[in-house]
Structure 1
Amino acid sequence: MCLISFAWQPGTPTPLRLMGNRDEFYARPTAPMGEWQDSPDVVGGRDLEAGGSWMAARRGGVVAALTNVRDLQLSVPPGAPSRGELVAGALQCGNIEAWLRELSQGEALRYAGFNLLVATPQRLWHLHRGRDRLALSEVPPGVHGLSNADLNSPWPKLLDVRRALEDAILQPGCWPTAVQRAMQNPQEAAVEALPDTGAGLELERQLSAAFIVGEHYGTRATSWLTLDSHGHIRITEQRFGPRGRFEGETTLALANDSLASTL
């Protein structure tokens, strides 16, 4: 994913609400959200080129989501594995905290830059692999955002979607619609507000929109989920093609022992 906003409220009936956009080349083969054949307890979209994911969930109450870090000065090891395999790894490992700690102690340096979120009803971890630091932390309660830098870096689109989620939390009935509107806003940021990641002005402007509309590259999915205190998860994925063409929607509900779907 390239943009995520989430509300972390541990100790409440709904500890986690999360919504994100996946930006990718349309030519990259992708499976829509569904149950994974090689891990039937896991559901999510699937990158068919490398086998990973950008956001997925495991029955029993575990959620993982990923954004890439965009920094052209960040050194990437030759033959670095796909960052999407981190989402799969988080949902398939036996001990989440131990697995994350191993990554934070140097194993994550095998990958290009990323942010990884892993949540249960009680805990939410953030692992950041950037140019200047590799760090694992527990996310404090509140409304947060991630784009292609560190947690809550004040990029314009991140501020917009985080503000929309803050408002939705305060106004019953506004989740997820109000946040979805912000996530699917194609407006580009003003030049003076753009980050400088080394990509050049034209590309920075194109990538500054929450919802990127393009012919070959753009926002391919908007996904949102809720995780309740009992470990039940409800997750929706909307899919898009070139120029933002709508291509379908899937909703899955995961209880600890069942899976229901609405196509």
Structure 2
Amino acid sequence: MCLILFAYQVHPTYKLIVAANRDEFYGRPTAPAHYWEDHPHILAGRDLEKMGTWMGVTKEGRFAALTNYRNPDEKTEGKHSRGELVADVLNGNESLEHCMRKVETNRQLYPGYNLLAGDANELYHYSNIENKLHKLAPGIYGVSNHLLNTDWPKVKRGKAGLSKIISQNDESIVEQLLNLLQNTDPSSDEILPSTGVSLEWERVLSPVFIQSESYGTRSSTVLLMTDEEIHYKERVYGEGGIDDREYTINLKN
């Protein structure tokens, strides 16, 4: 994931709302959201190169998602794939806090990342760059390829859009969130962050929805969670057009 917008315990119906874009090289092999054959309780897309994932949920109501921390100078050779962090949280039997404490102790094994893990009643954020575990209070948040709530234009734009959609409390919330995630408006040069890539790439990476010849937004995902159920919709963008996958998990079964 390269942008995760989320609202935690601020909506009258949904305890957790997530709207997220996965940005990746177009050539990286990927499976869309499905129940994993080797772990049938996990619903997530899958990176077929490393067999991890960027975002998913379980039939028991556990959620996890991840963004990379952008640092072009970081040495990644010999380090583990960050996608296994999400898979490990979703496959874990320990408490969420215990899972995140374990991640904290293994921080040096992975390139820079932000990891979210939670359910309807608790939500955690950890970045191995900041190296501080946060149990999040109710609120509206955004994380891209820096730290939580970093004041990047796309994060500010996304959080403002999420706040507006939530305030309307409309039944079309899923489609409104997907529309928000498909915003291709670039940011002006004077407000672009400086992250160590060229100005040309800062421009390419500035919209909520990224497009270029080789790299861009591969999928958008919306999650709505109550105590009783999870609604999960993934929209995959490919050469053949749009492919929507939609699931509902009953948490009372």
Task: Provide TM-score, normalisation by structure 1.
Answer: 0.90
**Secondary structure of the structure 1 residue equivalent to 2:173:** coil
Q: Which amino acid aligns with 1:137?
A: H
Aligned residue number for residue 125 of structure 1 = 124
Q: Which amino acid aligns with 2:242?
A: E
Task: Provide TM-score, normalisation by structure 2.
Answer: 0.94
Check if 1:79 corresponds to 2:78: yes
Identity %: 37
Q: Would the alpha carbon gap of residues 163 and 38 (structure 1) be closer, same or farther in structure 2, given more than 3 Å must change?
A: same
Q: Retained in 2: the 8 A contact 1:10–1:122?
A: no
> C-alpha separation between the residues in 1 aligned to 2:180 and 2:15?
22
> Over aligned residue pairs, what C-alpha RMSD do you find?
1.7
> C-alpha separation between the residues in 2 aligned to 1:116 and 1:203?
24
**Secondary structure of the structure 2 residue equivalent to 1:40:** coil
Aligned residue number for residue 145 of structure 1 = 142
**Secondary structure of the structure 1 residue equivalent to 2:157:** helix
Aligned residue number for residue 44 of structure 1 = 44
Check if 1:134 corresponds to 2:134: no
Aligned residue number for residue 18 of structure 1 = 18
> C-alpha separation between the residues in 1 aligned to 2:53 and 2:40?
15
Structure-to-structure mapping, 1:33-182, within 5 angstroms:
33-73=33-73, 75-76=74-75, 78-95=77-94, 96-105=96-105, 107-130=106-129, 133-173=130-170, 175-182=173-180
Q: Retained in 2: the 8 A contact 1:164–1:178?
A: no
Aligned residue number for residue 5 of structure 2 = 5
> C-alpha separation between the residues in 2 aligned to 1:113 and 1:149?
9
> C-alpha separation between the residues in 2 aligned to 1:188 and 1:169?
24
> C-alpha separation between the residues in 1 aligned to 2:206 and 2:14?
30
> C-alpha separation between the residues in 2 aligned to 1:166 and 1:62?
24
Check if 1:253 corresponds to 2:248: yes
Residues 50-82 of structure 1: CA deviation (Å, up to 9, x unaligned)? 011111100111111111110234x44531111
Q: Retained in 1: the 8 A contact 2:177–2:222?
A: no
Q: Would the alpha carbon gap of residues 201 and 171 (structure 1) be closer, same or farther in structure 2, given more than 3 Å must change?
A: same
Aligned residue number for residue 204 of structure 1 = 202
> C-alpha separation between the residues in 2 aligned to 1:177 and 1:164?
13
**Secondary structure of the structure 2 residue equivalent to 1:153:** coil
> Post-superposition shift, 1:12?
5.6
Gaps of 5+ in 2: none
**Secondary structure of the structure 2 residue equivalent to 1:24:** strand
**Matched residue count:** 251
Q: Which amino acid aligns with 1:27?
A: G
> C-alpha separation between the residues in 1 aligned to 2:195 and 2:217?
19
- Counterpart pick for 1:220 among 218, 222, 233: 218
Gaps of 5+ in 1: 259-263
**Secondary structure of the structure 2 residue equivalent to 1:176:** helix
Aligned residue number for residue 189 of structure 2 = 191
